[in-house]
Amino acid sequence: MLSRVADSLYWMSRYLERAEHAARVVNVNLNLTLDRAPADAAQHWGRLLASLPDPPAWQMRTVPDGDERATVDLANRESIAACVGAARENARQVREEISTEMWEEINQLFLAVQQRRPIESEWTAGTHEFLTATITGVHQIQGVTDATMTHGEGWHYIELGRYLERASATAALLDVQFREAPPDPTGAAGVSEFVEWVGLLKSCCAFEAYCRHYTADVRPQRIAEFLVLNPDFPRSIHFAAGRVQAALRAMAGLTGRVNGRSERLAGRLLASLDYGQIDEIMGELPAYLQGIVRQATEINTAVHRQYIAYPVDAGLA
C-alpha cells in the first residue's frame, strides 16, 4: 500500500474518532449543566475544553460562546466541524480504497455538519440535535466500514487510528478530571461531586456498563479502574491499547516489518495495563494518565516513521 494512502486512512479514522469524542463529551456535559450550580459551570467547561486535543486559547465568556467555538468553528483545527471536514478530505484522497457506502456516509455527515450552525437562541435543542447527529453519523461510518471494507491492510490502519485516538482522548479526559477535581479523601461526596463523576462516566458511554459491573455505587477509584484497566469495555484505555497492538501486529505481518518500534511501544503500553493494579497507580493517577498520552504520541510518531515517512532504502528492502 502506498504510504500516502495509509496516511490518509489513518488520519481519516483519527479525525472521525476525535469528532465523535468531542461531540459526546460536550453533549453529555451540556445536559448535566442543568444539575450544576451556576458558579461551578464556567470552571467545569474550562476543564472540559482543556481535556480536548490542543485546547483553543480563548477566554470563554459564556457556555454558549465556548461550546459553539468547540463544535462548529472551522478556524479551530480541533473543532467538530473541522475534524469532520479533515476526515472527509482524507477519505476523498483515497476514494478508491474505501467502499461506496463509506464514502456516502462520510459525505452525508460532512454536509450535515456544514449546514448546521447552532446559535444561542436555540442552544438547548439545536446544539443537542447537532451533537447527537454527529455522534450517530460517526457510529454509522464505523459500522459501515467494518461491514463493507475488506479487513486487510487499509482496514488495520483505520483500526489503528481509531483506537490510538480513543486511548489518548480517554486518558486526557480522565487526567483533567482527577487532577483538577480530585475526589474527596474522606469519601464523603456531595451532590455536586456526584454529578461530576456520573458525568465522567457518561462522557465515556460507561455509566450503564459501570453499574452492571459495580452496581450504582459511584466511587472515583472504581471509575478509574473501570475506564483505565478494564480489558472488555470498548472505551477503556486497556481495550483500546489491545486493539492498537493487534492492528500493529497485523500490519507488521502484512508488510514484513516485524519487531518495529511502534509495535514494541504498543506492547509496552499494553503490558503496563495488563499488570497494573488500581491500588498502586491511584496515588499518582494524573501522572500515570499523562504517561499514557505521551506513549500514544510516541506510537503515533513511530508509526509515521515506520510506515509513512520511512527511508527509501527501507522501502526497497
**DSSP for 185-208?**
TT----HHHHHHHHHHHHHTT-HH
Distance CA 237, CA 42 (A): 28
Residue 233 is predicted with a pLDDT of 96
The predicted-structure confidence for 47-63, as pLDDT tens digits, reads as follows 677 777 654 443 444 44
- Cα→Cα distances 200→181, 186, 210, 215, Å: 11, 20, 11, 16
Q: Are 36 and 191 in contact (CB under 8 A)?
A: no
Listed as own residue / partner, the contacts of 96-99 with beta carbons closer than 8 Å and 24 or more positions apart are 97/5, 97/9, 97/154, 98/9, 98/145, 98/149, 98/154, 99/144, 99/145, 99/148, 99/149
Query: Across the chain, what does the average pLDDT equal?
Result: 84
The predicted-structure confidence for 104-121, as pLDDT tens digits, reads as follows 999 999 998 888 655 544
The predicted-structure confidence for 106-165, as pLDDT tens digits, reads as follows 999 999 888 865 554 445 556 788 888 999 999 999 999 999 999 999 999 999 999 999
- Cα→Cα distances 64→34, 190, 192, 278, Å: 14, 27, 21, 37
Name which of 18-22, 70-74, 127-131, 236-240 the model is least confident about: 70-74
Among the listed residues 230, 257, 255, 225, the one whose alpha carbon sits nearest the alpha carbon of residue 241: 230
Task: Enter the C-alpha cell of residue 13.
Answer: 479514522
- Model confidence pTM above 0.85: yes
Is the pLDDT higher at 193 or at 226?
A: 226
Task: Enter the C-alpha cell of residue 301.
Answer: 510518531
How does DSSP classify residue 211? Answer: H
Residue 40 is predicted with a pLDDT of 64
Amino acid sitting at position 25: V
Amino acid sitting at position 20: E
pLDDT band at 73 (very low <50, low <70, confident <90, very high): low
Mean pLDDT score, 277-296: 93
How does DSSP classify residue 160? Answer: H
Backbone φ and ψ of 222, nearest 5°: -70, -35
Domain ranges for the chain, please list them: 1-149, 167-317
Residue 88 is predicted with a pLDDT of 95
The predicted-structure confidence for 167-206, as pLDDT tens digits, reads as follows 999 999 999 888 876 776 655 556 677 888 888 899 999 9
Angle (nearest 5°) at CA 252 between 241 and 19: 45
- Cα→Cα distances 119→124, 128, 226, 234, Å: 10, 11, 37, 33
Residue 256 is predicted with a pLDDT of 80
